[in-house]
Amino acid sequence: MKTAKYTLLYASIPIHHGNITQCQKPLSMLFGAFSQFRRVHSLQQKQDPYAEARLDGGKNRPPWFSVAPMMDWTDNHYRTLARLISKHAWLYTEMVVSETIVHQKENLDRFLAFSPEQHPIVLQIGGSNLENLAKAAELANFYSYDEINLNCGCPSKKVAGHGCFGARLMFNPKLVGDAVSAIAANSDVPVSVKCRIGVDDRDSYNELCDFISTVASQSPANHFIIHARKALLSGLSPAENRKVPPLKYEYYFALQRDFPELQFTLNGGITSINQVDAAIKQGAYGVMVGRAAYNNPWYTLGHVDSAIYGVPYHRKSRRQILEQYQDYTDSIIGKCGSRTNVRQLVKPLLHLFHSEPANSQWKRMADASLRHCKTMKSFLDETLRTIPDYVLDSTLVNTPSSHEEQFTDVDSLIPPPYSRSQKLTYFSEDQGALSGSLL
């Protein structure tokens, strides 16, 4: 009922329908039939987004582990490698601005296309213009993502400053609710929100709860990814915003206590599968990992299916993973020819031998080889001779033992329960001016 209400409310948002089939490249045609199948189940998915995942034999398992959206990192090439290593981790795209989707209708494959093997996959959208968010969601339907995520956490000046979205949206939870509703009314899949625990001096637990309560009550959103650091919009770079503000995991666990009807994924500062396991044992519904999944993909992603989802290891070696990845890159080069940037294809592989004895030598050889190699085969033939066979041919066999104590003191730090009857503290006298600037 909640979804139906917001669908009717936002049916009036103008969506300019074009001839979709005329503005997509041939690769997109492969996904049409699958898209139609998913649309049959769209209403059920919105009402209970992970119902199918909880069933034995369902296509996707719940998002207990996900790889964070990272600009310039979680592109198609990285996601292909990640899926070869982990079958069940949820993958996120880089953030795509809604205006980009709307104004690039003739070139959407460049921003939205992916292979079916990448499921489960989430499209992260950035923006604050309701009409463009609605249009972007409509166009994204063709690609059959498993979820759309609205970015309310990026602190960069380009996004939260000049762009007036990202973390700045947390100043206006009503607008976020409207944005989620606009996306959901024009999408076939659930819509989630990724946010910080606060912004600048608005960083109390009650203010965070005001944000969550407002968005959840005014939209169909029931899944929030919580980066357990606040964002500082002035004086810190995006990199510093990932390190300087202190982590407050207690806020995350308090949200789970105070909003049991919602689902929360924990993000921020988690760098190993042991920490993921510790967070889940502490009660986290799901955990999102960022740079550790990119900088150490073999061990971080390699243990996800067994340690988190309880399924057998894939028993693949790194040599076999590389052979499969080469098949993927051969198809890319076959389509794009001399326009292919081999360096971009190689980029996700550069951390595959993290912590191995030959890692430094491999990276030096890779840098030299990329100056002249034109195919993945020539690159691998030239560089893999630096890696010992026992490293290339070994497989992951044991889940790492967990001795993490990172969350053991959380219970003593959890703030008092949130009272939903109290006055919303996020709204202030100057909120109207802020709302206008975001639109």
Single out the residue of 126, 253, 261, 143 nearest to residue 195, CA to CA: 126
CA 248-203-133 angle, 5° bins: 100
In a shared domain, residues 340 and 214: no
Query: CA-to-CA distance for 2 and 279, rounded, in angstroms?
Result: 31
pLDDT value, residue 416: 96
Determine contact, residues 342/379, Cβ cutoff 8 Å: yes
pLDDT tens-place string over residues 62-85: 999 999 999 999 999 999 999 999
Query: CA-to-CA distance for 216 and 212, rounded, in angstroms?
Result: 6
pLDDT value, residue 406: 78
Q: Where are the beta strands (DSSP E) in 179-238?
A: 191-196, 223-227
pLDDT tens-place string over residues 121-158: 999 999 999 999 999 999 999 999 999 999 999 987 76
Radius of gyration of the chain (CA): 22
Determine contact, residues 189/121, Cβ cutoff 8 Å: no
Q: Looking at the domain assignment, is residue 161 inside a domain?
A: yes
Q: Looking at the domain assignment, is residue 411 inside a domain?
A: no
In a shared domain, residues 133 and 183: yes
CA pseudo-torsion sign 93, 97, 101, 104: negative
Query: CA-to-CA distance for 323 and 329, rounded, in angstroms?
Result: 10
Q: What is the CATH number of the domain that holds 139?
A: 3.20.20.70
49-53, 175-179, 388-392: which has the minimum mean pLDDT? 49-53
pLDDT value at 107 more than 50: yes
pLDDT value, residue 421: 57
pLDDT value at 50 more than 80: no
Averaged pLDDT, 374-383: 95
Averaged pLDDT, 35-58: 40
Q: Looking at the domain assignment, is residue 259 inside a domain?
A: yes
In a shared domain, residues 94 and 235: yes
Residues found in the chain: 439
Q: Looking at the domain assignment, is residue 409 inside a domain?
A: no
Query: CA-to-CA distance for 196 and 203, rounded, in angstroms?
Result: 9
Query: CA-to-CA distance for 439 and 420, rounded, in angstroms?
Result: 28
If you average pLDDT over every residue of the chain, what do you get? 84
Q: Looking at the domain assignment, is residue 146 inside a domain?
A: yes
DSSP readout, 357-370? Answer: TTHHHHHHHHHHHT
pLDDT value, residue 33: 38
pLDDT value at 198 more than 50: yes
Query: CA-to-CA distance for 363 and 386, rounded, in angstroms?
Result: 10
pLDDT value at 189 more than 60: yes
pLDDT value, residue 203: 94
In a shared domain, residues 351 and 283: no
Q: Looking at the domain assignment, is residue 398 inside a domain?
A: no
pLDDT tens-place string over residues 390-436: 999 999 977 666 666 678 889 999 999 998 755 455 444 344 334 43
pLDDT tens-place string over residues 228-260: 999 998 878 878 888 889 999 999 999 999 999
Look up the domain containing 357 and give its range: 318-393
Percent of the chain with pLDDT over 70: 79
Determine contact, residues 105/23, Cβ cutoff 8 Å: yes
CA distances from 302 to 98, 187, 237, 308, 437 (A): 33, 32, 31, 11, 45
In a shared domain, residues 194 and 341: no
The rounded Cα 275 to chain-centroid distance in angstroms is 19
Which residues, other chains included, contact 297 with Cβ-Cβ below 8 Å and sequence gap of 6+? 81, 82, 85, 348, 351, 352, 354
pLDDT value, residue 14: 40
As beta bridge partners, residue 224 has 193, 264
20-29, 72-81, 349-358: which has the minimum mean pLDDT? 20-29
In a shared domain, residues 242 and 356: no
Query: CA-to-CA distance for 99 and 163, rounded, in angstroms?
Result: 11
The answer for 235, left when phi > 0, alpha when psi is -120 to 50, beta otherwise, is: left
Query: CA-to-CA distance for 146 and 38, rounded, in angstroms?
Result: 9
Domain count, the chain: 2
Q: Looking at the domain assignment, is residue 407 inside a domain?
A: no
Percent of the chain with pLDDT over 90: 69
Residue whose token pair is 């929100």: 193
In a shared domain, residues 355 and 295: no
In a shared domain, residues 276 and 331: no
pLDDT tens-place string over residues 283-320: 999 999 999 999 999 999 999 999 999 998 778 999 99
Single out the residue of 116, 117, 180 nearest to residue 143, CA to CA: 116
Residue whose token pair is 């592109």: 75
In a shared domain, residues 282 and 352: no
What predicted TM-score, i.e. pTM, was given to this entire model? 0.84
Query: CA-to-CA distance for 202 and 231, rounded, in angstroms?
Result: 10
Query: CA-to-CA distance for 255 and 410, rounded, in angstroms?
Result: 13
pLDDT value, residue 315: 85
In a shared domain, residues 25 and 73: yes
Tokens of 398: 């044991």
In a shared domain, residues 23 and 172: yes
Q: Looking at the domain assignment, is residue 403 inside a domain?
A: no
In a shared domain, residues 92 and 174: yes
pLDDT value, residue 409: 87
Positions marked catalytic: 154
3-class SS of residue 269: coil
